[in-house]
Structure 1
Amino acid sequence: MDDTVIGMICYLGKFVSGFLCAFSTSPLMYCIGMVVEMFSPTTFITVRSIGTKLVSVEEQGRLNALNSIFEALIPLGFVSVYNFVYKKTIDFFPGTFYIVSSLTCIPTMILLGWLYLQRKHDIEEDKMHEQSTL
């Protein structure tokens, strides 16, 4: 299975779990959302895997360092966004921050979909090139 497909599945799980938690009407429904969310840490692994396949061996150390920096800094920014959203919506819909979290997955899912289609196109192009040289 292609790394981008695995990544899209992971981000789709994060997306769905956010909505499950936001609109849960029972503890069981909330727990199901959390079980789906348990697979989201694999997104970091998939992004690293895709990245190491896109850069040369000499640049993989830099890429991993950059990934580590972003993995450490991004939660800092999101904490303040989540706090702001939660404070503004706690009185009428406290699950809004789950929806905000789900919506942040959309750009990544689009990017992973584009990478998948690009890779598929490149493979087809290589096959056509090989057939034309025979």
Structure 2
Amino acid sequence: MGVIAMDKKQITLYYSSENSLGKQINAYVESSEMKHLTIDISKTNVTGTQWAELAEGLHKQISDLINTDHPDFKEAYGDTHADLDDDDWLKILNKNPKLLKYPIIVKGEECIELKSASDFKHHMEPDSAGIDKPYN
């Protein structure tokens, strides 16, 4: 990765405040005692290079970051598989941030999609024995 800051002592959250999961995860991050940076993609433009790095860190395509089951996506692109290139997917994310499928946490060189609010606790908080859990 290149343009995204990688710091093992800080977590960076990419989320959309336009969906409930993003709001929940942000609340967990904000209330944690961890050093953090939150990026609300509804208010802050994320560059194509940053999205590409996040997708690469997750071992996914940019299209995999988008919730194609969301009613707004289906209304614009239909129920069938949308044949779009990476630039089109990036435009969708920038114009419709609520279509981000899952919030993404970056810690060190690890990228993690958080599919539920409890995922944050599972991936980020040390267990009761004081041993850090793996990030993925």
TM tier, shorter chain? Answer: 0.3 to 0.5
Q: Which has more helix, going by share of residues?
A: 1
Q: TM-score, normalised by structure 1?
A: 0.32
TM-score in terms of structure 2 length: 0.32
Query: Which of the two has greater strand per residue?
Result: 2
Name the larger-Rg structure.
1
